[in-house]
Every structure is written in C-alpha cells, then in structure tokens.
Structure 1
Amino acid sequence: MRTLCSSTLIGEFFVIGFAGLVAMKSEDLSQGTVWTVCGIAMALCVLLCGMLGRPGAIQLGWVLQAGLILSGFVVPAMFILGIAFAALWWCSIHYGRQIDATKARWAAQAQAAEGEAQAG
C-alpha cells in the first residue's frame, strides 16, 4: 500500500506545483499567497510519503485530496484533477491493502513449506 500511495502523492506534488504556476496568473491572488499554500500542500505530499505507516496518515491524505478538489475554485482544472487524484488515492489504499494481504499470505505459505522441508 505504501508504494502505491507514495506514487500518488508524488504525482500530486507535481500537479500542485503546476497548479501554482497557473494560479500565479490570477490578478486576485498575490504570488506569496499562492506559493505559501502550494508550498504547504507540496510539503504535506512529501511528508505523507514518509508517514504512511503511521496512524492518521491515510486520513490526512484524504484531507489533502479534499483540498486538491477545493483548489478548483482558484484553478478550475483542479476540480477534474482533484477528483482524479482522489480516485487514485482510493485505489492506492484499496488495492494496496489487497496486495499487502496477498504478499503476507504468500510469505506465510513459503515459510510453512520451508518448515515442512526442513522437518522432512
């Protein structure tokens, strides 16, 4: 799960950076505001990559997904990209857990087979 979620977060890191470049062209926002918000969101993406094994990291990732969708009010294309990344986040969690369970089952079967081979 960690690999899939980390890949999604790194992709978001770049999308947020590019969205910041688009948002800079808005006359309603100062560059300082744009890059403060984008910088915090980008830093959160990187920090979450390292925190994925800790409690609350997945929920914090969902908060990031909601923020990404809401950023569509500033850069309209982010509505679509935010929904796409929220779907990727869900898939990363859902299928990542299935992959982890399968790997654990295979490891247990291999260990049991190895134990039988040594005993026999």
Structure 2
Amino acid sequence: MTIAYWCVLIAAIIPYLMVGVAKIGHRGYNNRAPRAWAEKLEGYRQRASWAQQNGFEIFPFFAAAVIIASLAGADQARIDALAITFVATRLAYGVCYLADLHLWRSLVWVASFGICVALFVIAA
C-alpha cells in the first residue's frame, strides 16, 4: 500500500480525534443524543466539534483525489508528498481551530483544498 493510501486512512481518523477533544473530560456528554449535545458546546469544545465536521466535509474530496491520481498513473512520489502535506495541513487546521486562530485556520483550509486540486492536476 502506498504512503498516500495510508494518508487517506489518517485523514479519515483526524475528525474523530477532533471530536475526542470535545468529549474528553466533559461530564454532560449524552451518547443517546450526541448531536444535540454538540450543539450546546462552547469554547474550544465547540470548535473541536466544528473541526470534526469540516474534516468529514473535505475527506471525500481528498480520498477521491488520491485514488484518481493513483489510477491515472501520476508520479507516486508526488502523490505521496501531496498526501503527506494534506495530512499535515489538516492537523494544523485542527490546532488552529482549537486555538481560535481563525485567519490561520482559513489559510490552512485553503492550502488543504489546494492540495486536493493539485492531486487532480497531476492526474491530468
């Protein structure tokens, strides 16, 4: 399995890490109504929940981009480098969200989106 495919797995796990930050130590978590619980969060816990949602939103784009670049026969080293960079940007995105660094978060989001586009471009 390629490094890029491993990065797809890591990218799939990152949103769960973010929601874990929201849940750890919070006494009011209700597994019977997790979405209702999440809507009432505040501060860094709320931002962690939002980071989870954004991670789920961008994941299909990234996974498709990696798969399409691989199937199209793009240079594997470039695919791997872009995939690693995507994972790094998504981790940075989570840190920026938790720290409420909204401008940096937006810049990192643009970078991660651009990486997905770049994967399609190298597949062309």
Give the TM-score normalised by the residue count of structure 2: 0.43
Which has the larger Rg?
A: 1
Structure ranking higher in helix proportion? 1
Give the TM-score normalised by the residue count of structure 1: 0.44
